[in-house]
Structure 1
């Protein structure tokens, strides 16, 4: 029935138009009728914004310029791990800097005791199955994946920076620590291309926004800086860094899907149309 409704919509609307332009990169990872339906029946092209998104993200994916550094944080560890797998397999990244829950998963994969509160958080988010994947990546690419050397713990709203090796007390990790901020910032500033996705800590809280803001500022100083959508964009806007970034993606889910090497239905539909035209 859903497909029937789609085809009905396309049949009714298509005769009213001469051309279909997909300029909505942000929803092109979804197989919606308005995204994939009209390429079957109308001359179809990508819009300028779509072109800009793909060109910028490809610059990060190809990794032709060295060093290309990825900084991946936030809570969606599974999505970030897909990106890490894809870019390292393709040789598209010289270094991956992990923070946020992504780093927590990698620390667990490295056999570090992160405390029960953090382990439980990873379990509640259903990321325990990501740990063996992270361990395999660490074994395959030992020099390419960086983990925090220190973290900021949240003790009743107060920030306590501790070395990862001393993570015995059971407090939640809320940011990367000062030493890690300095190390990561230097890597990002010296890079030719940087790709940022996800905050380094609980950016919404004043005491734990330092990692996110410092890494974004450092990334903006690289030769070409790309920010994936979602929370990164919110942080960039809050810091007033938007003019300093080479490209700020408008698609959170779409940019992560694209960087993880998975096909985006909206882009695949345009490719299929282009192929049909070339054959004709």
Structure 2
């Protein structure tokens, strides 16, 4: 297991990796829950008297979202409630000079690490540890803290290189996300375990179902994957109409696996009873047996929400991956929001994962405190559910075995 902030002494030079990747509109970085979450780790490091240097990424080269982190420094400072200086350099002379000028309790943010050529190539940690980026920056620090769980599935230099050359620790986001997202495989619950599965990426959902098998008692399906399973069950849904390109290629890729899952676990797979669509600008609903799909279906219906809610009420644990409808349109948010409200009102252990689904909580004013954990991870959450390795977590564990605690 990895070490955490509890294992670090005080007064260290700490390099901390956050994931502050955010939506960008007209060049302006939008505030989001990542800043508030990561601020806890930074605040704790500041309070312990460390010199704190933050690494983070934003976008990818060639995209409009690939911008400097100067705005991120300002946003993070608001949540940490202490100034966050910024230097437009990653590991060159300007960055090194700024790092060396820090006093105890001060925070510095380096420029977007993806502006460094060594960062993005997916390589083994050993190769990243030998990069100019890591070899130039690591000697300026006593230890490394990784709080970027949502990027933990990436084998990038800032995530996997530094733990091989510095004592490495998990920040509070990394720690809480890992514990919550692996609980479906690692914990025992006194009652049924339910998964709510939706969204647009059917292959991800099918991978989760295949990997978890006996760990889940009920699968409640909606979204694209719900339609595809309904199609396999003989209903007139689950194919592209009106110019959509969401169904047919995923059906071709997954038909055999969908039919196998229905045959093997049909008693545990719950399919929508009704679906919603747009009629004359308003929401309309239709039972699945009466559907003649000639336009997009945009949400599960109210009967489905009610019956799924009954399953959730009797569950000891509920895990959510993906939205059940196009919740960005308030007319078609009933499925996603209704299920989240059912979870919030129950006393089950609950984990809501995937960027879109967790965004619905914020968009519709639900209180995060009513859920056991709301994940800010997407790809890493899926990999955790499917039991796949997370490179950044693996190297934290390796570092824990390799290095003694830096506490004195």
Matches within 5 A, 1:109-148: 109-114=232-237, 117=240, 121-123=245-247, 126-148=250-272
The residue that corresponds to 1:83 in the other structure is 208
Deviation at 1:103, TM superposition (A): 0.3
Q: Deviations over 1:176-209 (max 9, x none)?
A: 0111110001111221111112111110112111
Judging changes above 3 Å, is the alpha-carbon distance between structure 1 residues 125 and 238 closer, same or farther for their aligned structure 2 residues? farther
In structure 2, the gaps of 5 or more residues are 1-117
Contact 2:224–2:238 (8 Å) recurs in 1: no
1:105 maps to which of 215, 218, 228: 228
| 2:173 paired with 1:43 | no
Contact 1:122–1:128 (8 Å) recurs in 2: no
CA distance in 2, matches of 1:111, 1:229: 29
1:207 maps to which of 320, 323, 331: 331
Contact 2:236–2:293 (8 Å) recurs in 1: no
Deviation at 1:244, TM superposition (A): 1.2
Deviation at 1:156, TM superposition (A): 4.8
CA distance in 2, matches of 1:118, 1:77: 17
The residue that corresponds to 2:358 in the other structure is 233
CA distance in 2, matches of 1:94, 1:116: 28
Judging changes above 3 Å, is the alpha-carbon distance between structure 1 residues 118 and 178 closer, same or farther for their aligned structure 2 residues? farther
Higher-Rg structure is: 2
CA distance in 2, matches of 1:136, 1:56: 29
The residue that corresponds to 1:12 in the other structure is 136
Judging changes above 3 Å, is the alpha-carbon distance between structure 1 residues 169 and 141 closer, same or farther for their aligned structure 2 residues? closer
The residue that corresponds to 1:54 in the other structure is 178
SS of match in other structure, 1:225: strand
| 2:383 paired with 1:249 | no
The residue that corresponds to 1:95 in the other structure is 218
Judging changes above 3 Å, is the alpha-carbon distance between structure 1 residues 232 and 169 closer, same or farther for their aligned structure 2 residues? closer
Structure (1 or 2) with the greater helix fraction: 1
CA distance in 2, matches of 1:103, 1:118: 16
Mean Cα displacement is larger for which, 194-203 or 102-111? 102-111
Q: Deviations over 1:248-275 (max 9, x none)?
A: 1111221122112211111121223334
TM-score w.r.t. structure 1 length? Answer: 0.90
Deviation at 1:63, TM superposition (A): 5.7
| 2:298 paired with 1:174 | yes
The residue that corresponds to 1:264 in the other structure is 390
CA distance in 1, matches of 2:280, 2:240: 14
SS of match in other structure, 2:150: helix
The residue that corresponds to 1:273 in the other structure is 399
In structure 1, the gaps of 5 or more residues are none
Judging changes above 3 Å, is the alpha-carbon distance between structure 1 residues 175 and 187 closer, same or farther for their aligned structure 2 residues? same
SS of match in other structure, 1:187: helix
The residue that corresponds to 1:158 in the other structure is 282
CA distance in 2, matches of 1:169, 1:77: 19
The residue that corresponds to 2:28 in the other structure is none
CA distance in 2, matches of 1:46, 1:252: 19
The residue that corresponds to 1:149 in the other structure is 273
CA distance in 2, matches of 1:12, 1:115: 53
1:224 maps to which of 336, 340, 349: 349
Judging changes above 3 Å, is the alpha-carbon distance between structure 1 residues 192 and 115 closer, same or farther for their aligned structure 2 residues? closer
| Greater RCO (CA < 8 Å, at least 6 residues apart) | 1
CA distance in 1, matches of 2:241, 2:343: 28
Judging changes above 3 Å, is the alpha-carbon distance between structure 1 residues 12 and 110 closer, same or farther for their aligned structure 2 residues? same
